[in-house]
Chain A
Amino acid sequence: MKAEPHAALSLDPLIHAPARLAILLVLSAVDEADFRFLLHATGLTKGNLSAHLSKLEEAGYVEIEKTFRGKLPLTLCRLTAEGRQALEQYRATIQQVLNLSPTSPSAAGGDHDPAH
């Protein structure tokens, strides 16, 4: 009989990276934000943020629009419907993984004293 894959294996690897998760979390709380705000909020470097945004854009999770406001260049980033759904799915899966994980010896089914 083939075993069911563990819930942890179905975590979206694109979202699982801390930097990309931080970007998606910030974008999930706003309508849109520019590149500078994401730098400020996540603490990533310009190169790092740019690389992670490109990956998220390629996956269709984030929409990027380059524009100007007066003389100020603006790189606007928005979470797409697909990105929002992927983040929700990630949240549900990680919750499931954490619920299945033993947090104490009794939760793991063992009530023995680990010192003995």
Chain B
Amino acid sequence: MSQHPLLRQVKRYWFEDGLAEIVTGVGFVGYALALWLAEHLSGWETALLDILVIGTPIVLIFAARWVVQHLKWRITYPRTGYVAYPKRFRDRRQVLRVLGLWALFTLGTGLAAFILSRGSAGGYLVTLGLLLAVFELALGYAQAMPRMGLYAAVAALAGLVGAALPTPWQQSEVILRGGWHLGWLGLAQIAGGALALQAYLRRHPEPLEGDLP
């Protein structure tokens, strides 16, 4: 359904400065690096990998918004104003619903990638990239944010490049647990977010004291 341009602009404001992408991008790269570290530690690796896989999405869901909000108070709100969007987590039931959806999405994506690739590691990586790309495109459409198309392309490309890697690499925990895709996606988001931030700061220089309403 089409939406009034004014409402679309309000919705897009959260992404206008690129901060949300930079913060989630750092989270994705951090996840990939942590997976890589955990794989190279001896003794604790299995437990640590499991904690990372379960813990990182939870931290990302709940902490990313808080960090972005904190940065916006320093950078965005003094320039183009403060806005509070309707809270996503008004009660415990909503929190559980979001966590449930996240778990379902993660398991569903992994399972779909495994089934569609019929067990081949290369096929799994390509399918996972394509599924992530579809997710990014859907998110970009819902948030009226065309930049997401670029991230979708990076996710798909990460899958294709991953399929060309030597077999022992393809079977490493970092790659099998999504670290490869999310690492590249995170780097793309950091780059895209930084460009958006640069453009935003150029368009909206810091207001002088007298300019404040």
A78's nearest neighbour on chain B, judged by CB, is: B84
A73 to B77 Cα, complex, angstroms? 11
- Contact of A36 with B6 at beta-carbon distance under 8 Å, contacts A72-B77, A75-B213 already known: no
**Most chain-B CB neighbours within 10 Å: which of A25, A33, A75?**
A33
User: In the docked arrangement, what's the CA distance between A29 and B83, Å?
Assistant: 10
Q: Which of B73, B77, B82, B212 gathers the greatest number of chain A CB atoms within 10 Å?
A: B82
Judge whether B80 and A37 touch: CB under 8 Å: yes
Q: Is the CB of A32 within 8 A of B84?
A: yes
CB of B86 closer than 8 Å to a CB of A: yes
Would you list which residues of chain A between 35 and 60 have a CB under 8 Å from chain B? 35-42, 46
Query: Of A30, A34, A41, which is within 8 A of B77 by CB?
Result: A34
- A6 contacts partner chain B, Cβ-Cβ < 8 Å: no
Q: Which residue of B lies closest to A70 (CB)?
A: B73
Contact partners of A15 in chain B: CB under 8 A:
none
- A33–B84 CA distance with the chains assembled, in angstroms: 6
On whether the beta carbons of A25 and B82 are closer than 8 Å, the reply is no
Which of B9, B11, B78, B213 counts the most A-chain CB atoms under 10 A from its CB?
B213
Does chain A have a CB within 8 A of B10? yes
A11 within 8 A of B: no
Task: Please give, as numbers and ranges, the residues of chain A lying within 8 Å of B7 by CB-CB distance.
Answer: 25-26, 29
Chain A minimum-CB-distance residue to B6 = A25
Which range contains the number of B residues in contact with the other chain? 20 to 34
Among A25, A31, A35, point to the contact of B87 (Cβ < 8 A).
A31
Task: Please tell me if A116 contacts chain B, counting CB pairs below 8 Å.
Answer: no
Contacts of B9 in A (CB 8 A): 41
Q: How far is the CA of A88 from the CA of B126 in the complex (A)?
A: 48
Which of B10, B77, B86, B87 has most A Cβ within 10 Å? B10
Q: Mark A73-104, 1 if CB is under 8 A from B, else 0.
A: 11110000000000000000000000000000
Q: Is the CB of A36 within 8 A of B84?
A: no
Residue of A nearest to B84 (CB): A31
- A22 touching B82 by the CB < 8 A rule? no
Does A69 count as interface, using CB distance less than 8 angstroms? yes
Q: How far is the CA of A30 from the CA of B6 in the complex (A)?
A: 12
Which residues in B have their C-beta under 8 angstroms from that of A35? 81, 213
Contacts of A25 in B (CB 8 A): 4, 6-7
Say whether B73 contacts A36, CB under 8 Å. Answer: no
Partner of A36, one of B10, B11, B81, B86: B81
Chain B residues positioned under 8 Å from A36 (CB to CB): 77, 80-82, 212-213
Interface, chain B (partner A; CB < 8 A): 4, 6-7, 9-11, 13, 73, 77-78, 80-87, 212-213
Can you list 9 contacts pairing A with B, beta carbon distance less than 8 Å? A29-B11, A31-B84, A33-B81, A34-B82, A35-B213, A39-B81, A39-B213, A41-B13, A74-B82
